[in-house]
Every structure is written in structure tokens, then in C-alpha cells.
Amino acid sequence: MAVVVAGALMACSPAPVEDQREAAAAVATRGLDAAMVERAMTEARELDRLHAVIIARHGEVIAEERLRGPGLDTPVNIKSASKSVLSAITGIAIGQGVLEGVDQPVAPILSADLPASPDPRLSDLTVGHLLSMQAGLGRTSGDQYGRWVTSPNWVRHALARPFENEPGGRMIYSTGTSHLMSAVLTRASGRSTHALAVDWLGEPLGIRIPPWPQDPQGIYFGGNDMLMSPRDLLRFGELYRLDGEIDGRRILPEGWVEESWRSRTVSPWSGNDYGYGWFSRRSNGHDVRFAWGYGGQMLFIVPSLDLTVVMISDPSPHPRAESHLPDLHALMDEIIIPAAIRGA
């Protein structure tokens, strides 16, 4: 049944994008089709790397299950989904005046770690470039990751990488770039990124954000290895679904969610759009915004369906870790999103 529903919607794909968006917005169902939810959970149980699934609509948890691994209230490594959390902290820093805005140059803040003869383009780097992975600096991820994290100074190492593109150009996915953002937050505020995360997100959301690894200088790892339970990650997702205001309290500056989700570049690996720490794609006529961590640490938000979904997977290095991702997207595309379109 899920395939029939999805297929019927995809058959409308030649229509103008504006018409597709209007059709998506017209969906006004509530709840989820029960049979399709059961099918989704049955298929999830068969994915041996998938540890937990939580599906919520209109803020109500419709289905949740620990399939294997830690419990739903146990903080787990969300890997690069941390980049979406780092983006939220940055937005709050801008809202509170700790940072001037996304166009603020970062070189003056990081001046102590600039190379002896810095490339002039370093002075063009902005907060926005770091958030959108458009710094232009060579990668510290992939085959460069080990060399970077064993270096004596991660910030200095990332700033010394040769430019492969102009700042503001194509996306160069690099966790070193997001780590620079953590260093900017720490030095601009005089407080650790962990302290900011706890005060600005943990306390107002009522979630736990334990300490996570730091670099040799004590800067909390920017964009990787944050710890959050599946239920707390869902709560974070709800903050974004509700446009930064939850339980009558504004936590993110007005407009930050829209700015974070607005496409600024495209991933060369997946072809998905990328904003400030968030990926975007289309499914069944609806925009899907998602945080993505290595091996399948996923937070999906479908705003037009009031749908928030968490999927937590085995984070350990494994030859099949990334090949597991299409299965998670298929659960969304073929079952969960159609279940919301159909409704209870």
C-alpha cells in the first residue's frame, strides 16, 4: 500500500514546483496509518544496524522502539548530526549578541591560530561559510581525518589546510570546518561549547547534553561525537519543527530555522541540498529536512506533515555503515511519510 500511495504522488512530478508545494501543504491528516506504522517497525527490526526508532506527529509520539543497543533515554553518539546542534547554538549566539551575524569574519576571533603567512582568503571566511561547509579549505574528513585528530592543535591544523575553492563556493564537507565554529563560539563567548549547549538548549528543552570529546586545547569537538538520547534528539527536532519556539518559550531567534534550512550548496556525495548544518531533500511532494550522522544517526523533520522521526544506528566503524543509509531513507519515503499523508 505504501508503494501505491508514494507512486501516485510521484506521478504528479511533472507539475510545477509551486503546484507540488501547494498540494503538499493541503495535506491535513492527523496521526499515522496504523498498518503502515506496523510495517515500518517490522522492517526496522530487520535492519541489524538500526538501534532505535521514534516517530512523532503533531508532537505526539506514535511509535517508539529500542530495537537493540542502548535505551531510548540513554545518551548516544550522534556523530555528525552534532553539526545541526552546533548550528542551533550559533543561531542563539547571534541572537544574544555574542556573535554579530552570519557575515561576521572569523579570522580576528581565531587570530592566535592563523598560519605564520596566512592565505589572504582566510580573512574572507565568515560564520556562515563555516556553517554551510563553504569555507573552501581542504578537507579534514575522509582520508585526512586521522592526521587531523592526531595533530597537536586541531584549530591550527584546519586553518592551515590549503584552499581548494573560494570561500562561499562549492561545498567541501569537513568536520574541521565545523570545529572552527566551535572554537569561534568558545573564544567569542569565553565559555565552552558544552556550557553553551547546556545553558541554551539543555536547560530550556529539558534534555541532557553530557560532555563530549575535546581537542588538545580544550575546545569541544565541533560537529562530531555529541551525546544525546533518542528521546532528547526528538525533543531537539521538535524545536525546529515548531520554528524555534516550544512550550511557549522562544529558544532560537525568530527566522533562524528558515535560515538554517535554506539551501546554500549541494552535497557532492549525496546530491542533497545543504544549509546551516541541515540537509534537505524532497519526498512524496514534501520537503524533508534532516540531520545526518555517520552510520545512520538521523533526525528527520517534515514540516508540512508535522512529522518528526529519529533513527539511531550502530555508530561504530563498519564496511556497511554508510550502505545502511538508503534503507533508512526508504523507511521514510516508502512507509512513514505515506503513512502520515494517509493519516490515522
Q: Which three cell numbers stand for residue 96?
A: 544574544
Global pTM? 0.91
Using a pLDDT cut of 70, give the percent of the chain over it: 92
Evaluate whether residue 199 is within a structural domain.
yes
Other CB atoms within 10 Å distance of the CB of residue 66: 16
Terminal-to-terminal C-alpha distance of the chain: 14
Residues 200 and 300 both lie in one domain: no
Residue 127 pLDDT > 60: yes
Evaluate whether residue 63 is within a structural domain.
yes
Residues 276 and 341 both lie in one domain: yes
**Residues 216-235, mean pLDDT to the nearest whole number:** 98
Residues 49 and 112 both lie in one domain: no
Q: What angle do CA 140, 314, 214 make, to 5 degrees?
A: 40
CA distance 335 to 285: 14
Domain span holding position 170: 79-228
Residues 120 and 141 both lie in one domain: yes
**Residues 147-152, mean pLDDT to the nearest whole number:** 96
In this predicted model, what pLDDT tens digit does every residue of 250-262 receive, in sequence order? 999 999 999 999 9
Evaluate whether residue 260 is within a structural domain.
no
pLDDT of residue 26: 57
Evaluate whether residue 151 is within a structural domain.
yes
Residue 285: which of 30, 17, 4, 36 has the closest Cα? 17
Task: Give the least confident one: 12-21, 93-102, 197-206, 299-308.
Answer: 12-21
**Residues 27-51, mean pLDDT to the nearest whole number:** 96
3-state secondary structure of 231: helix
| Residue at a domain's end among 180, 210, 228 | 228
Evaluate whether residue 153 is within a structural domain.
yes
In this predicted model, what pLDDT tens digit does every residue of 168-200 receive, in sequence order? 999 999 999 999 999 999 999 999 999 999 999
pLDDT of residue 25: 55
Torsion angle, alpha carbons of 275, 289, 330, 7, to 10? -110
Q: What is the CATH number of the domain that holds 166?
A: 3.40.710.10
In this predicted model, what pLDDT tens digit does every residue of 263-293 receive, in sequence order? 999 999 899 999 999 999 999 999 999 999 9
Domains of the chain: total:
2
Cβ burial of 14 (10 Å; 0-12, 13-18, 19+) is: exposed
pLDDT of residue 324: 93
Please state, rounded to an integer, the average pLDDT across all residues of the chain: 92
Evaluate whether residue 261 is within a structural domain.
no
Residue 21 pLDDT > 60: no
CA distance 113 to 111: 5
In this structure, are residues 145 and 80 in contact, taking their beta carbons and an 8 Å threshold? no
Residue labelled with grid coordinates 605564520: 116
Burial letters for 281-318: b for 16+ Cβ neighbours within 10 Å, e otherwise? Answer: bbbbbbbbbbbbbbbbbbbbbbbbbbbbbbbbbbbeee
Residues 216 and 175 both lie in one domain: yes
Q: Which residue has the higher pLDDT, 235 or 144?
A: 235
Q: Which value, in Å, is the radius of gyration of the alpha carbons in the chain?
A: 20
In this structure, are residues 336 and 40 in contact, taking their beta carbons and an 8 Å threshold? yes
